[in-house]
Homo-oligomer: A and B are copies of this chain.
Amino acid sequence: MSINTITLDRQGDLPAIFEACARHRVAAVCPWRHQVHQAGLERAAKLLRDAGLNLSGYCRGGMMVADKAHRQSARDDNRRAVEEAVTLGAPSLVLVVGGLPQFSRPGSAPSKDIAAARDMVAEEIAHLLEFALPAKMPLAIEPLHPMHAAERGCINTLRQALDLCDRLDPARDRGLGVAVDVYHCWWDPELATQIARAGAARLMAFHVCDWLVPTTHLLTDRGMMGDGIVDIALIRGWMEAAGYGGHAEVEIFSERWWREPMDKVLETCVERHKRVV
């Protein structure tokens, strides 16, 4: 099990989160950039080593859709994300690719052209790959739930992400793959077949939480594993059958869980991970 540090974003800073994870014998973490910047990059890297924590990824690059005026700053930002991931020793940089330009890079000219946004994502990932490849930092495209297509990510199915991988990295030797999050993908009727298609080389991360019914907020009402309707163990089985051997990374955006003490959240994650993941 790994803990994505957004899960504890309101309870403490990165040093406190790392310490708590080590105390609860969590094997790995996936830190977020804003938390790393707050703690300081070199200090965060040292804290990780001192705590004996592995990384399951680094969250996140992306938000690549921008108008001309904002394109270069988006590129610079993503190169920095790659460099930070290298410094931290992350196995991959997770990419949340962005939606329409006005939401992805605020200040960009508004557009309703989702097809153009998708074309731009392909172009920008190709561009970033030229930088990430010599830096030896794999890029993991995370398909987002279609309800986030406009503002956060216009890659919305695993098929779509893998089509892009096949186009930009046909021989599977350039370090391009996917992050599969059960929250974003559980509904997809093609999920099993696309995970099998992906195979070990493309499956770079596996994120878990749960889908609650009812869901009261599009972004911050994700559930603790076992509290919703996703058959997480089934999806984990598909991942492992396809050759994935990495962590199950708990990533929960939740007003409800952000209000709980850090130790209680971690205890619950450990218990639920054993029981339902």
Inter-subunit contact B218/A156 (CB<8 Å): no
Specify how many copies of this chain sit in the oligomer. 2
> Known contacts A145-B147, A146-B147; is A189 also within 8 Å of B211 by CB?
no
| Residues of chain B contacted by A188 (CB below 8 angstroms) | 146, 156
> Known contacts A147-B147, A150-B213; is A156 also within 8 Å of B229 by CB?
no
Inter-subunit contact B229/A112 (CB<8 Å): yes
CA distance in complex: A112, B188 (Å): 14
| Residues of chain B contacted by A113 (CB below 8 angstroms) | 231
Chain B CB within 8 A of A169 CB? no
Chain B CB within 8 A of A186 CB? yes
CA distance in complex: A187, B100 (Å): 11
CA distance in complex: A214, B150 (Å): 9
Inter-subunit contact A112/B157 (CB<8 Å): no
| Residues of chain B contacted by A257 (CB below 8 angstroms) | none
224-240 of chain A: CB within 8 A of chain B: 229-231
1-38 of chain A: CB within 8 A of chain B: none
Partner of A150, one of B157, B160, B211: B211
Contact with B along A213-224 (1 / 0, CB 8 A): 111001000000
Contact with B along A132-161 (1 / 0, CB 8 A): 000000000000011101110010110010
Chain B CB within 8 A of A118 CB? yes
Chain B CB within 8 A of A103 CB? yes
Inter-subunit contact A103/B146 (CB<8 Å): no
Chain B CB within 8 A of A114 CB? yes
CA distance in complex: A83, B200 (Å): 53
Inter-subunit contact A103/B151 (CB<8 Å): no
52-94 of chain A: CB within 8 A of chain B: none
Sample of 5 further A-B pairs with CB below 8 A, known A149-B186, A150-B187: A112-B230, A145-B146, A147-B215, A151-B214, A156-B189
Sample of 17 A–B contacts (CB below 8 Å):
A100-B213, A103-B213, A112-B230, A114-B187, A118-B189, A146-B146, A146-B187, A147-B147, A147-B215, A149-B186, A149-B187, A150-B187, A150-B213, A151-B214, A154-B187, A156-B188, A160-B189
